[in-house]
Amino acid sequence: MSPARKASRPAPRRTRPRAAARRPRAAKVAAPRVLVLRAAGTNCDRETAFAFEQAGAVAVAVHVNELARRPSTVDDFHGLVIPGGFSHGDDLGAGTVLGTRIRTRLVDGVRRLVDRGGIVLGICNGFQVLVKTGLVPGFDGAIDRTVTLAQNLSARYEDRWVTLEVTTDRSVFLRPGERYRVPVAHAEGRLLPLDESVRARLHADGQVALRYVGPDGGHPAPYPWNPNGAVDDIAGITDPTGRILGLMPHPERHQFPWQSPTFHRDGPAELPDGLRVFLHAVEHLRHTF
């Protein structure tokens, strides 16, 4: 049985707090613990948990209601991932309902996690949630909504493979110079800054983490290489610490060699592109805790 399936069971009620797990020791951990946040409509939780497990972490799925009941649960973990899906049906705009819930109730725990060296990853709907929460870009550590993910220019949901380049050296999830072939699948992924100054600051501060590249590997990437019309081909952004990453594409959908669409022609790659992101993150946690 996969750990993810085990994890999807409701967490047993504990009468005594587990002090040891709650406060990770300063020594390096072999298997960092990652909380996979579930909510109504989350649907990429199993494979995202599996990717973290493949990379060496222990992934535990926790429902947001459970977290709301005991917000300190997050202190038992080294990482938090908000997986893809349609949390609350994308009602009121993708990520709005869950983002509002986190912003008004749970954001302190998330901040605490990042402040002690932990990581937060938001993939697709998870990125939408991070943006609506105001955790990214998080200029000066503020919780402030200064970018959004608007409806695709094509006005519809699209599933296609894209090529990403890493454009920051700040992110613990990414290595400068790497490129990833991974799929996108969304209807609201067009990154849009509040104004010109936000846009300029994203670039200047190295918070633009990932960009879609065109057929020749450059910019601007035309449709469909930039699948949604995102400003400056931006596919993902990081917070100033480099420990929070939000991205529209799905790295967990390229964690096995046979998932690559060119697998049947070119054979298996040495290391699936998407898996690298999880490996980098787990490596960071191993060195931090």
Partner 1 sequence: MAAPMAPARRLPRGKRPDDRGSRPSSPRPRTKASPTPRRPAPVHRIEVALKPDQIDPAGRDALGQLAAAGLSGLADVRVVRVYFLEGDLTAADLRKAAVEVLADPVMDRFAVRRSLDVRAGRPSQAVTVTRKAGVTDPEADSAAATLRSVGLAVTRVKAARTFHAFGAPQDDGRALLAAARRALGNEVIEDVVPGELAKWRFPAPAAVRVVRREVPVRDLSPEELTELSSALHLSLSLAEMAAVREHFRGLGREPSDLELETVAQTWSEHCKHKTLAGAVEHEDEQGRRTFKNLLKETVFEATRRLGKSWCLSVFRDNAGVIAFDGEDGVCMKVETHNHPSAIEPYGGAGTGVGGVIRDVLGTGLGARPVACTDVFCFGPLDMPAARVPDGCLPPRRLMRGVVSGVRDYGNRMGIPTVNGAVLFDPRYVGNPVVYCGCVGILPRDKVEKAAKPGDLIVAFGGRTGRDGIHGATFSSVELTSESESVSSGAVQIGDAITEKKVLDVLLQARDLGLFHAVTDCGAGGFSSAVGEMAAETGADVDLSKAPLKYAGLRYDEIWISEAQERMVAAVPKKAWPAFRALCVAQDVEAVVLGTFTKTGRLVVRHGRTVVGDLSMEFLHEGLPRVVRKATFSRGGGPEHDGPDAPDHTATLLSLLGTPDIGSKEWVFRQYDHEVQAGAVVRPWAGVGEGPSDAAVVAPKLGSRRGVVLSCGIQPSVGDVDPYAMAWLAVDEALRNAVATGATLDRLAVLDNFTWGRCDKPDRLGSLVRAAEGCRDAALHFGTPFISGKDSLNNEFRTADGTVIVVPPTLLISAIGVIEDVRRTVTTDLKRAGDVLYVVGETHDECAGGKWYRLLGLLGSKVPVVRPTAKATLLALEGAVGQGLVRAAHDVSDGGLAVAAAEMAIGGQLGLDLDLARVPGSTRRSDRLLFSESATRFLVEVAPEHAEAFERRVAAAGGTCAAVGRVTEAPRLTVRAADGRRDAVAVAVPALRDAWKSALPFSREESPR
Site for partner 1, residues 168 to 187, rule: CB under 8 A: 183, 185
Q: Minimum Å distance from CB 102 to partner 1? A: 11
Quote the least distance from Cβ 117 to partner 1, whole Å.
28
Could you give the strand order of the β-sheet that contains 158-166, starting from the edge strand earlier in sequence?
58-63, 33-38, 79-82, 119-123, 244-247, 234-238, 208-212, 158-166, 179-186
Residue 124 appears among annotated catalytic residues:
yes
Tell me if 32 contacts partner 1 by CB under 8 A: no
Q: Is position 197 an interface residue for partner 1 (rule: CB under 8 A)?
A: no
For partner 1 (CB under 8 A), the number of binding residues is 72
Looking at the DSSP bridge assignments, the partners of residue 192 are 148
Residue 142 binds partner 1, judged by CB under 8 A? no
Q: Is the distance from CB of 128 to CB of 98 less than 8 angstroms? A: no
Minimum CB separation of residue 37 from partner 1 in Å reads 13
Tokens matching residue 75: 């202190």
- Token digits of residue 120: 């937060």
The least distance separating partner 1 from the CB of residue 89, rounded to whole angstroms, comes to 4
Give yes or no for residue 72 binding partner 1 (CB under 8 A).
no
The CA distance from 58 to 63, in Å, is 16
Candidates 91-99, 173-181, 233-241, 280-288; binding stretch for partner 1 (CB under 8 A): 91-99
DSSP string, 26-70: SSPPSS-EEEEEE-TTB-SHHHHHHHHHHTT-EEEEEEHHHHHH-
Active site residue 250: yes
Helix (H) / strand (E) containing 285: helix 273-288
Q: Which one from 44, 47, 124, 165 is the annotated catalytic residue? A: 124
CA–CA dist 107, 168 (Å, integer): 25
CB of residue 133 vs partner 1: minimum separation in angstroms?
Answer: 12
Burial class (CB in 10 A: 0-12, 13-18, 19+), 267: exposed
Q: Which of 111, 145, 201, 203 binds partner 1 (CB under 8 A)?
A: 145
**Angle at CA 136, nearest 5°, toward 176 and 58?**
70
97, 162, 277, 279: residue in contact with partner 1 (rule CB under 8 A): 97
Query: Does 91 contact partner 1 by CB under 8 A?
Result: yes
Stretch near partner 1 under the rule CB under 8 A, chosen from 18-26, 110-118, 150-158, 209-217? 150-158
Q: Residue 262, interface with partner 1 (CB under 8 A)? A: yes
Catalytic residue numbers read: 124, 250, 252
